[in-house]
């Protein structure tokens, strides 16, 4: 499963472009979700991520808690309790709002070190992302979460030791790889790492446990391009995302038991394609450097995909995914 965050532009990618060679006619549906939060018409990634992960509306800035600040269980936590293998992939930091919404519980999305600590409380079998410094260079306490992951039985490595995707790993042990110390500044490396992670994760998780798995993948660079109002950046990231999700779709076609969901937690920038654009030349225009309240497309492929058509609240994504997992 893919719950993909941060930007309308992301959600359009996985069904088109390089993936039009795939046979996606079987069990494919398209819908839209409404992303507003409990306290704002325009949701941030914390509130919208929480809505998708836990099925409740909460305030902007809140992660994994309700409007009163009380913890709510996430679908990843529920899946793990049932014995389903779980994974998170992000080309941003593990501590950023979208991946954090599936494991953390806090009223402050800015408390990066606190968010990192939740990865030691909620077992995630396959972890690939950035933000290493929030785990092993902490200022709020003396904990070394990198070492704690190792002590918990994880195969742990990072960008400073080896190139991601090189070597082998044990399917029987949990896996964690840190792609960067904080944010990834090397865009080409980010694109390559996301593609590699999408190649590795489904097979790892399928072989890790009893066969069932829940995987959340985030391409955060599309949101970054929207925040920077960079049209060329957005287009290149869409192309990259399309290639990466193509690997997930190939797996799903062969597996025939995997439901793939492609969406965003919000749109960023109010991006529009202006008159005069062609297939070869896009004249992009922005109205904001922040998220907007636009409806967010939802693409679904595989068994149960028909339930994702229509227009609904982002909280319904949680209920639909929960039903598909039999939780």
- Buried b / exposed e over 102-119, threshold 16 CB at 10 Å, is bbbbbbebebbbbbbbbb
pLDDT of the residue at 185: 85
Q: Indicate the pTM of the whole model.
A: 0.92
Domain boundaries, the chain: 8-325
Looking at the chain, how many residues does it have? Answer: 327
The overall longest dimension of the chain from CA atoms, in Å, is 58
Range 191-209 average pLDDT: 95
pLDDT of the residue at 183: 86
Q: Are 103 and 65 contacting, i.e. CB atoms less than 8 angstroms apart?
A: no
Q: 116 - beta bridge partners?
A: none
Summary mean pLDDT of the chain: 91
Tens digit of pLDDT for each residue in 293-311?
999 999 999 999 999 999 9
* Dihedral over alpha carbons 290, 262, 9, 190 (to 10 degrees): 90
Tens digit of pLDDT for each residue in 177-192?
999 999 888 999 999 9
CATH of domain 8-325: 3.40.720.10
Distance CA 45, CA 109 (A): 9
Q: The dihedral of CA 257, 303, 325, 215: what is its sign?
A: positive
pLDDT of the residue at 26: 59
Q: Phi/psi at 263 (nearest 5 deg)?
A: -155, -175
Residue 89 — pLDDT band, cuts 50, 70, 90? very high
Distant-in-sequence contacts of 56-63, Cβ < 8 A, 24+ apart: 56/315, 57/313, 57/315, 59/107, 61/107, 61/108, 61/109, 61/110, 62/106, 62/107, 62/109, 63/97, 63/100, 63/101, 63/104, 63/105, 63/106, 63/107, 63/109, 63/115
Q: How many CA atoms lie within 13 A of 287 on its CB side?
A: 10
pLDDT of the residue at 17: 33
Range 68-87 average pLDDT: 97
Cα 299 to its chain centre, rounded Å, is 14
- DSSP string of 40-55, one letter each residue: -SS--HHHHHHHHHHS
Residue 10 pLDDT > 60: no
Q: Are 131 and 182 contacting, i.e. CB atoms less than 8 angstroms apart?
A: yes
pLDDT of the residue at 2: 36
pLDDT of the residue at 184: 84
Distance CA 39, CA 67 (A): 9
Q: Are 165 and 126 contacting, i.e. CB atoms less than 8 angstroms apart?
A: no
Distance CA 245, CA 12 (A): 11
Range 301-325 average pLDDT: 97
């Amino acid at each position: 499963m893919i719950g993909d965050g941060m930007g309308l532009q992301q959600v359009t990618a996985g069904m088109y472009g390089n993936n039009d060679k795939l046979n996606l006619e079987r069990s494919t549906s398209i819908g839209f979700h409404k992303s507003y939060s409990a306290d704002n018409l325009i949701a941030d990634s914390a509130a919208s991520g929480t809505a998708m992960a836990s099925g409740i509306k909460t305030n902007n800035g809140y992660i994994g808690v309700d409007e009163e600040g009380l913890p709510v269980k996430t679908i990843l936590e529920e899946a793990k309790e049932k014995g389903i293998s779980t994974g998170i992939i992000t080309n941003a930091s593990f501590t950023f709002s979208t991946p954090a919404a599936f494991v953390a519980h806090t009223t402050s999305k800015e408390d990066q070190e606190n968010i990192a600590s939740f990865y030691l409380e909620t077992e995630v079998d396959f972890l690939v992302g950035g933000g290493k410094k929030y785990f092993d260079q902490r200022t709020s306490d003396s904990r070394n979460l990198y070492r704690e992951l190792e002590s918990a039985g994880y195969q742990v490595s990072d960008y400073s030791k080896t190139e991601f995707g090189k070597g082998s790993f044990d399917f029987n042990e949990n896996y964690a790889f840190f792609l960067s110390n904080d944010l990834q500044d090397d865009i080409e490396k980010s694109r390559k790492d996301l593609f590699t992670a999408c190649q590795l994760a489904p097979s790892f998780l399928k072989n890790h446990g009893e066969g069932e798995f829940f995987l959340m993948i985030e391409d955060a660079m599309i949101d970054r391009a929207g925040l920077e109002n960079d049209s060329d950046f957005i287009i290149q990231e869409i192309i990259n995302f399309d290639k990466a999700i193509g690997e997930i779709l190939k797996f799903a076609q062969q597996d025939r038991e995997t439901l793939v969901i492609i969406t965003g937690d919000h749109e960023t920038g109010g991006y529009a394609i202006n008159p005069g654009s062609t297939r070869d030349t896009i004249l992009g225009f922005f109205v904001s450097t922040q998220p907007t309240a636009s409806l967010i497309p939802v693409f679904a492929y595989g068994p149960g995909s028909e339930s994702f058509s229509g227009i609904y609240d982002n909280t319904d994504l949680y209920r639909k995914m929960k039903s598909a997992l039999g939780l």
